[in-house]
Amino acid sequence: MPITMSSRSVRRTALAGAAAALSIALTACGASFNAQTLQPYQAAEGTNADSGSIAVRNVLVLASEDGKGELHALIVNNGGSDDELVGIAQAPAGTPDGQAGGDQPSEVTFGNVKPLDLKAGTSTLIPPAPVAEGENGEASGEPITVTGGKPGQMINVTITFGQAAPITTYVPVLAEDHYSPSPRPDEGGGHG
């Protein structure tokens, strides 16, 4: 005897199949090229940016509450030819960078910015690391000073190179203790 389904059973089965297909289609929408699991994760407090073979990593400013600080970064030249860091300056107002900016200070100046060789296949630390012990422990170069950015702000910065295209990106300003502008426990404003 052939098994037959009533029209009601056919509709229920068709509806269940359509619901299953719809749920699979909607789930697939979350797995597109913009899925969160496909986005790069930056496990650093600073900003990362690239220009051709030049990679600027963990760029940030460590500053005091009065707006005086230093720029910190690592610049990697992954290319086959040397390049040069030419300048670092606050980007003009309205300069796009592809990111949403935070509390932008009105005027930030960068001091002691000198041309810096970026040899092919090497990385360069800013500020320069201290020289080896026994050589007075002095730094091998002057830090790049930053005036006008206070902890908690973001500075829209343009970094220029001799060969690579300029990079414009927002750089966070952090407190000198490397964390946040929150008071430290030893200053009487601790969190308890």
pLDDT computed for residue 139 by the predictor: 45
pLDDT computed for residue 189 by the predictor: 45
Percent of the chain with pLDDT over 70: 67
Mean pLDDT of 81-85: 94
CB 137 within 8 A of CB 130: yes
Strands 154-161 and 167-175 come out as: antiparallel
Q: Which of these, 162, 159, 160, lies nearest to 83 by C-alpha position?
A: 162
pLDDT computed for residue 128 by the predictor: 80
pTM given for the model: 0.65
The per-residue pLDDT for range 16-52, each reduced to its tens digit, is 887 777 777 666 666 666 666 666 556 667 899 999 9
CATH number of 45-175: 2.60.40.1890
Percent of the chain with pLDDT over 90: 39
Helix (H) or strand (E) holding 155: strand 154-161
Question: Any idea what the Cα angle at residue 57 is, between residues 95 and 87, rounded to 5°?
Answer: 50
Mean pLDDT of 162-168: 94
Which residue has better confidence, 5 or 58?
58
The per-residue pLDDT for range 137-153, each reduced to its tens digit, is 444 578 999 999 889 88
Write down the mean pLDDT value for the chain: 78
End-to-end, the C-alpha distance of the chain in Å comes to 78
pLDDT computed for residue 178 by the predictor: 62
pLDDT computed for residue 130 by the predictor: 66
- The CATH 2.60.40.1890 domain(s) of the chain lie at 45-175
CA distance 158 to 90: 6
- Encode 39-99 in three state secondary structure: CCCCCCCCEEEEECCEEEEEEEEEECCCCEEEEEEEEEECCCCCEEEEEEEECCCCCCCCC
CA distance 45 to 43: 7
